[in-house]
């Protein structure tokens, strides 16, 4: 069974370890895997299986139209890679997010505020605004990137990522930073493996059957003693899992895919 490990060319360089680990694990399990980039792919040569590490739901939808089974599917990509869609989706499930608005609407409580792109990921395109002038400046800088203005978490520099594979929580990591309101590991934040709190478990259990994702990271921020959903990472990074645990998420992901294909 042919399988593409699909990346955008510019993302592959910094993620080659995981790409190759996915490919090698898939080949061990009987797939015919190859690493393919979106600039060189041919829809008419679409394989039976695509492991998506891209954020373009239109490409994934076309691959599905050509008969590929895509992990994560295009609908997951569409929801998770636009924070406005993510927040609308989780709020329909009764899951809290920090208050937000779009430019031109009444701003949420502040200052400070967070201004970010709805399409950013990994802590990029996220800014702390201490005044309305800052908000205007950051919004202007994010023109074309669908900026959003959000209330600032009262417990900044700390968040939790919950890794979910095949609908099951496999690990939760608490990230923190003493120097940045963003706690992302790639930005120098510290990370420790923790037990998943019950309130966060409950929110994850609401999301899982509705989103129908294969492998995601669900991020929560904290304020006033509560957890708020911050984002859902469709192309979830695995550096923390390899650094902090004995898990091999690439192997686990390919085993899950192999089992799901056998079950079809």
Q: For residue 140, count other CB atoms closer than 10 A to its CB.
A: 10
Q: What is the pLDDT of residues 28-83, one digit of tens each?
A: 999 999 999 999 999 999 999 999 999 999 999 999 999 999 999 999 999 999 99
CA–CA gap between residue 122 and residue 198 (Å, rounded): 25
How many CA atoms are closer than 13 Å to the CA of 198, on its beta-carbon side? Answer: 0
Sheet holding 2-7, edge to edge: 32-37, 2-7, 49-52, 69-71
- φ, ψ of residue 193 to 5 degrees: the values are -75, 135
The tokens describing 86, both together, are: 């993510």
Q: What is the pLDDT of residues 87-116, one digit of tens each?
A: 999 999 999 999 999 999 999 999 999 999
Quick one: pLDDT at residue 186? 57
Task: Give the CATH fold of the 100-151 domain.
Answer: Dna Ligase; domain 1 (3.30.1490)
Q: What is the pTM of this model?
A: 0.92
Quick one: pLDDT at residue 120? 87
Q: Are 70 and 59 in contact (CB under 8 A)?
A: no
Quick one: pLDDT at residue 157? 81
Q: What is the pLDDT of residues 47-56, one digit of tens each?
A: 999 999 999 9
Maximal CA-CA distance, the chain: 57
How do the domains of the chain map onto residue ranges? 2-78+248-263, 82-96+154-233, 100-151
Architecture of domain 82-96+154-233: 2-Layer Sandwich (3.30)
pLDDT at 182 over 80: no
Same fold, 2-78+248-263 and 100-151: no
Q: What is the pLDDT of residues 108-163, one digit of tens each?
A: 999 999 999 999 887 789 999 999 999 999 999 999 999 999 999 988 788 999 99
Q: Are 55 and 77 in contact (CB under 8 A)?
A: yes
Residue with token string 């060189």: 40
Cα 167–chain centre separation: 15
CA–CA gap between residue 70 and residue 220 (Å, rounded): 26
Q: What is the pLDDT of residues 231-260, one digit of tens each?
A: 999 999 999 999 999 999 999 999 999 999
Quick one: pLDDT at residue 262? 64
Architecture of domain 2-78+248-263: 3-Layer(aba) Sandwich (3.40)
């Amino acid at each position: 069974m042919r399988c593409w490990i699909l990346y955008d060319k510019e993302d592959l360089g910094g993620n080659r370890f995981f790409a190759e680990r996915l490919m090698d694990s898939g080949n061990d399990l009987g797939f015919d895997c190859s690493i393919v980039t979106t600039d060189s792919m041919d829809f008419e040569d679409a394989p039976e299986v695509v492991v998506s590490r891209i954020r373009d739901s239109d490409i994934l939808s076309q691959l599905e139209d050509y008969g590929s089974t895509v992990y994560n599917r295009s609908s997951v990509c569409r929801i998770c890679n636009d924070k406005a869609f993510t927040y609308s989706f989780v709020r329909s499930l009764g899951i809290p997010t920090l208050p937000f608005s779009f430019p031109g609407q009444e701003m949420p409580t502040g200052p400070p505020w967070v201004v970010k792109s709805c399409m950013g990921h990994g802590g990029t395109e996220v800014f702390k605004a201490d005044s309305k002038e800052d908000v205007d400046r950051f919004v202007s800088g994010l023109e074309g990137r669908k900026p959003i203005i959000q209330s600032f978490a009262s417990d900044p520099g700390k968040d939790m990522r919950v890794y979910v594979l095949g609908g099951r929580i496999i690990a939760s990591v608490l990230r923190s930073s003493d120097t940045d309101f963003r706690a992302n590991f790639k930005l120098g934040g510290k990370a420790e493996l923790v037990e998943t709190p019950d309130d966060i478990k409950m929110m994850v259990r609401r999301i899982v059957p509705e989103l129908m994702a294969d492998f995601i990271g669900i991020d929560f921020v904290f304020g006033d003693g509560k957890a708020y959903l911050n984002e859902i990472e469709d192309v979830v990074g695995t550096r923390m899992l390899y650094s902090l645990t004995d898990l091999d998420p690439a192997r686990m992901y390919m085993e899950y895919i192999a089992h799901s294909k056998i079950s079809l």
